[in-house]
Amino acid sequence: MSNSRKGVKLFYDVISPYSWLAFEVLCRYRNVWNIDLTLKPAYLTGVIYGSGNQPAGANPSKLMYMVSDLKLTSEYFGVPMFRPSSISEKDSLNAMRFVTAIAEKGKDGDTLERVSRELWKRKWRTQQDITQPASLTDAGLKAGLSANEVEEILTLSKSQPIKDKLKSVTEEALEYRCFGFPFIVCNVNGKAKVFFGSDRFELMAYFFGEKWVGPQPDKPTVQM
């Protein structure tokens, strides 16, 4: 294992199931690879249209593949999830403003991780709403925030500075030529490399001079 400290930025949106997979893997490998992980909540719809890309739902074949792929991929990554019955392009905006407010409020990284995870669970595991204040409140409470803290963050999430911050981070992703999530920017020894998707960890390990031992590094390997 390399002793050099490595920086990793994860641009993500809770509407993206593949972002959840990348998020969990990076959290698992944080100490294994000795990385400084920075979460960058952004707005996927802004990236899609800002980059000239198209939503997955715009291509029926791509959407059908995604439904099939997610079942097997989630099993492999050890992150159970189920595709919601409907996906609206804009239904993550309030959620991502809420997450951005938590980040800007100066909450510790663990809180940001827990809230993001709870929102992914609602959308992709229990198929619950993530657009309404009551839904965001429930996610915040389950993540360990107090009722007063959640109310304060909900109010903050509607403010212009938070709207501007989410837009700014989304634009930052676009500056890296981002076209979808998860989008991962890695830095080591002054060198930077970007990776798209949740299936590039072997290459990321190679870039870092580390070993990839599968999506669950603490899981014992079965000798064949």
Which residue of the set 2, 16, 68, 146 is catalytic? Answer: 16
Measure the CA–CA gap between 207 and 118, rounded to whole angstroms: 31
Describe the strand order of the beta sheet including 183-188 as a list of residue ranges.
35-41, 6-12, 183-188, 191-196
- Beta-ladder partners of 188: 191
Give CA–CA dist 135/27, Å, rounded: 25
Query: Does 2 participate in catalysis according to the annotation?
Result: no
Ordered DSSP codes for 75-127: HHHT------S---TTTTHHHHHHHHHHHHTT--HHHHHHHHHHHHHHHHTS-
User: CB of 92 within 8 A of CB of 166?
Assistant: no
CA–CA distances in Å: residue 55 to residues 45, 52, 58, 139, 158: 8, 10, 5, 26, 26
Which residues are the active-site residues? 16
